[in-house]
Structure 1
């Protein structure tokens, strides 16, 4: 297996209209890859296509392999979404405590004792760079965290699943400069240890965080027929 994820000629279509692609790339183990392109090129749509979460009415074609296994369109399952985890642009924090949020994913997919689950969650909080800030308030409501802390909590929730790849969709676009820097530090710390696909509108951020970039351009519209006479 050469890549964690391999994409060949992936397109997203709305009936006969191509909305995204074609795009081809591979994610090597431990690499951080930036997915770049102008607004409207479909960067976030590509991420959703990789985890089989396209909106109703949209379909993907082309080849997608995860850990060497072909993934057919609309055939994804919970197992796939534990291996490739999407962290959305807007951090989704559930009701309950900080610890409840960190445990949210793994308690549904991992059969283990409460102690083992808690240990995994605490390790993920540490890997996401949040542990020192929340270790003394794990039982506090997650809604009390700052925007940057919430984003890192979502990152921890994903990391707790031990995914093969993380898909990060504009993880700092809604943050102030200080929070952005803190989240960037957490993402940079994953380099070489986790496989990451990062969507960002900021070329400087991609240069700071990524080993390589994939350029996504809007699909070329088919020429209109020429009327003669």
Structure 2
């Protein structure tokens, strides 16, 4: 199987009004794809549609396949969110330690021995490029981390689930230039062995990180399929 996620004419609607789409894309194993377009075009909405987390009142139609399996809209597929993990634009850091945050997702969805949890956390923190900075402070409150470290901690929390794909929503938009560069290094290191879909308002960032780009356009009276470059 070459593709992790395939969508065919995915649309998000509010009643009879089409807000986003149709979007057809294929995300292959180990590829990094950028989702670009003007502000308000619905890039983040596409990410939420892929993990079936649309706000009440919005509906998704069209086909979405994950690892060859068709994902039905609003069917309560909790397992979906361990296969495709959305990392939001604003890093969500929970109360508790750095380690608690790193294993938060995996601890709640799978039965894993404590020792194995620690190993999984270390692996994920290494993959997110954060291990060297926090290995001596795993028991420290996660709230003490910098903004860039928090973003990478959220990335590690997602990676600990060993997902089939990561959806990153503007992962550096709230960061200074130095923190942005560090987060970009972590995302770039995933290339080739993690499937990643990135929403970014920065064309230069998309060019640096992505193999291909899917460009969304503003809705008109006749919707147009997203262009892939």
Same fold (TM over 0.5): yes
Q: Secondary structure of the equivalent of 2:54?
A: coil
The structure with the largest alpha-carbon Rg is 1
Distance 1:96 1:68 in 2: 37
User: How far apart are residue 131 of structure 1 and its match?
Assistant: 0.2
Aligned position for 1:33: 33
TM-score by length of 1: 0.96
Q: Secondary structure of the equivalent of 2:61?
A: strand
Aligned position for 1:100: 100
User: How far apart are residue 68 of structure 1 and its match?
Assistant: 0.3
User: How far apart are residue 218 of structure 1 and its match?
Assistant: 1.6
Bigger drift between 108-117 and 44-53 goes to 108-117
Q: Which runs of 4+ in 1 moved over 6 A?
A: none
User: How far apart are residue 108 of structure 1 and its match?
Assistant: 1.1
Q: Secondary structure of the equivalent of 2:213?
A: strand
User: How far apart are residue 76 of structure 1 and its match?
Assistant: 4.1
User: How far apart are residue 221 of structure 1 and its match?
Assistant: 2.8
Q: Gaps spanning 5+ residues in structure 2: where? A: 223-229
Aligned position for 1:20: 20
What aligned pairs does 1:192-211 form with structure 2 within 5 A after superposition?
192-211=192-211
What aligned pairs does 1:212-223 form with structure 2 within 5 A after superposition?
212-221=212-221
Kept in 2, the 8 Å contact 1:22–1:219? The answer is: no
Distance 1:77 1:136 in 2: 38
Q: Secondary structure of the equivalent of 1:163?
A: coil
Distance 1:218 1:114 in 2: 48
Aligned position for 1:180: 180
User: How far apart are residue 48 of structure 1 and its match?
Assistant: 0.1
Distance 1:61 1:2 in 2: 24
Matched residues, number: 222
Residue deviations 1:3-56 (CA, integer Å, cap 9, x gap): 100001000000010000011001000000000111111000000000000000
Aligned position for 2:68: 68
Measured on the aligned residues, the alpha-carbon RMSD in Å equals: 0.8
Q: Secondary structure of the equivalent of 1:140?
A: coil
Q: Secondary structure of the equivalent of 1:86?
A: strand
Distance 1:71 1:211 in 2: 25
Residue deviations 1:178-208 (CA, integer Å, cap 9, x gap): 0000000000000001000000000000000
What aligned pairs does 1:60-209 form with structure 2 within 5 A after superposition?
60-209=60-209
Q: Gaps spanning 5+ residues in structure 1: where? A: 223-229
TM-score by length of 2: 0.96
Q: Secondary structure of the equivalent of 2:11?
A: strand
Q: Secondary structure of the equivalent of 2:29?
A: coil
Residue deviations 1:99-128 (CA, integer Å, cap 9, x gap): 000010001122121000110011100100
Distance 1:88 1:112 in 2: 26
